[in-house]
Chains A and B, each alone.
Chain A
């Protein structure tokens, strides 16, 4: 059936055309769903089914963590990992599910941060407009998403590896723009004193509230990505990643899907950009320079681009290395270490740390026993 009909069918929930029924084996005597007859809504039932002890443990750990760790750890390690992980998530989404490696995700985050600084309050009173935060932040995110769409439109005109080159060039162009322009971006000094607001008596930059703020948005981004990749849009995107020509032949607008993917990734990166600006309390050209553009790629690949959790894992490793490397190795050679790890990951485990974990589990985990008797060695 054609793509349009299939989409309509999915949307309306109308019964699909009948197929010849294959006689099903008798209903297995598996334990019937204990909640099948209850009045709980469908999503709660599904949640109950998919929750495992692992998920519960993680949830508790994430919630309790800030109360047992030092404020330094909560703020500099945990919150920074969550924010950087969110930016890397936008890259993972584009790269892993869309097949487009965009080095301009940090640029989009930077655009959001700068827009918020210019619209809100900062150290440069002559530049900032002084809007209240609940006005400045949504507008900043909107501006950044628009820019991400523009970047996407520019990058999808050619295919494949061109994307890396073009997005790198766009990122560097933005860097030079904010470096040289003083009337809007305050050039080399950048915009400082970017303070998050005090809401209901909670100053959002204190370690505990900031951690929960970052955790909330990180989880939101994570679940958004998980949801989207299973929705028709996400599945179409993965199809475009695998074979754009076939998808075009099926009637999908490949360019529109790709640009929409950029816009969605831009949304995630924009939110992360606002959080990053609040974390650093400043926005300088150095925040959007080539170093950081590549670092985000390193983080995403380090964790593994195939699954959303990989971005956060990579960010955690990166931040731990960055913070504590000086105690262990010569801090001067930090770039060598991180570059070497990145190289090793790409060479030997292209799926990042998650891929490594999966390989180790299959190697050392419970053996999959074949049901047939083992072959005798002749």
Chain B
């Protein structure tokens, strides 16, 4: 795209947003900035869950549609562990581990044997998502599970200028998102494992030819991706509560984030999550009736102009 076209695109999208922001900030300043914070914190949750999704796809070209079920699994396990031990940090670790183990089993027992058959792998993950969701419904019933935030994160933070008060846990989501983002960046760019993952994303065949145990790398990546979903699940159990149906919602959110941001790119996941989180919360605050449709329209718009997503690269 030429410089001129790029400028035109930025104006086309940025213009209305700037106008809207100006109007909203003047109309009800507090609402505007609270919604901004709400959007960024929600985006952090979406980023944590979607980063795992995009990691798995980037390396293994596998659209893991059971990602939402892993989110649910992590959340439920985290809830049970928190109720038993009373320590939220342990619950976080347990949620991560449970989902990681689930993902590992999926990859090792089933998906490994279908390497290269992308469509079949995707169908298998659909089947697994139905089965896992029903098993979780059987064990935990349709009751809503609301996990409590740890004591040091409970309650509002008061005294913030303009906004007055904001939930401490909600604000901490930003911290979690940043930590995960930086951690992933460090893992991918500064460690051997990360180097192998990045090489595998570029060219699987050469990686195997270079003598790396590709299956092991796949397994580790899948476990990491699934674990991130479980980690997001524990956080979501506190902020949003755990109920059957959340798995589909988070899966769709991950899909949108990854399609908008570009498959296989962690930076893309961050951008996509920011766009989705902000669109959803601003939609809920200013036009609640069609807020969800609005987010899907963004998806369709991106597909029309940049089918590979914002940071996506040619397959």
Residues of chain A having any CB pair with chain B under 8 Å: 99, 101, 154, 157-162, 164-166, 168-170, 172-173, 176-177, 180-181, 290, 294, 297-298, 301, 332-333, 335-336, 338-340, 342-343, 346-347, 350
Give the shortest distance, in Å, between A200 (CB) and chain B (any CB).
43
Task: Give the contact stretch, choosing among B71-79, B133-141, B151-159, B170-178.
Answer: B133-141
Query: Would B138 and A158 count as touching, CB distance under 8 A?
Result: no
A-side interface mostly:
helix
Residues of chain A with a CB closer than 8 A to B300's CB: 154, 170, 173
Q: Does B290 contact A (CB under 8 A)?
A: yes
**21 cross-chain CB contacts under 8 A:** A101-B122, A154-B303, A157-B307, A161-B118, A164-B65, A165-B63, A165-B259, A169-B256, A170-B296, A172-B252, A172-B296, A173-B300, A176-B292, A181-B290, A335-B133, A336-B134, A336-B135, A342-B126, A343-B127, A346-B120, A347-B110
Partner of B124 from the list A290, A332, A347 (CB cut-off 8 Å) is: A347
Residues B75-132 near A (CB distance < 8 A): 110, 118-120, 122-124, 126-128, 130-131
Query: Would A173 and B124 count as touching, CB distance under 8 A?
Result: no
The total number of A-B Cβ pairs within 8 Å is 101
Q: Does B271 contact A (CB under 8 A)?
A: no
Query: Would A168 and B130 count as touching, CB distance under 8 A?
Result: no
Whether A158 touches B308, Cβ cut-off 8 Å, given contacts A180-B290, A301-B123, A336-B134, is: yes
Whether A346 touches B124, Cβ cut-off 8 Å, given contacts A154-B300, A336-B138, is: yes
Give the shortest distance, in Å, between A189 (CB) and chain B (any CB).
16
Give the shortest distance, in Å, between A15 (CB) and chain B (any CB).
42
Find the B residue at minimum CB distance from A332. Answer: B138
Residues B281-315 near A (CB distance < 8 A): 289-290, 292-293, 296-297, 299-300, 303-304, 307-308, 315
Find the B residue at minimum CB distance from A180. Answer: B289
Residues of chain B with a CB closer than 8 A to A101's CB: 119, 122-123
Whether A339 touches B130, Cβ cut-off 8 Å, given contacts A154-B300, A161-B63, A169-B296, is: yes
- A161–B120 Cα distance when bound, in Å, is 10
Query: Would B120 and A340 count as touching, CB distance under 8 A?
Result: no
Residues of chain B with a CB closer than 8 A to A154's CB: 300, 303-304
Q: Which of B303, B308, B315 has the most CB of A within 10 A?
A: B303
Find the B residue at minimum CB distance from A154. Answer: B303
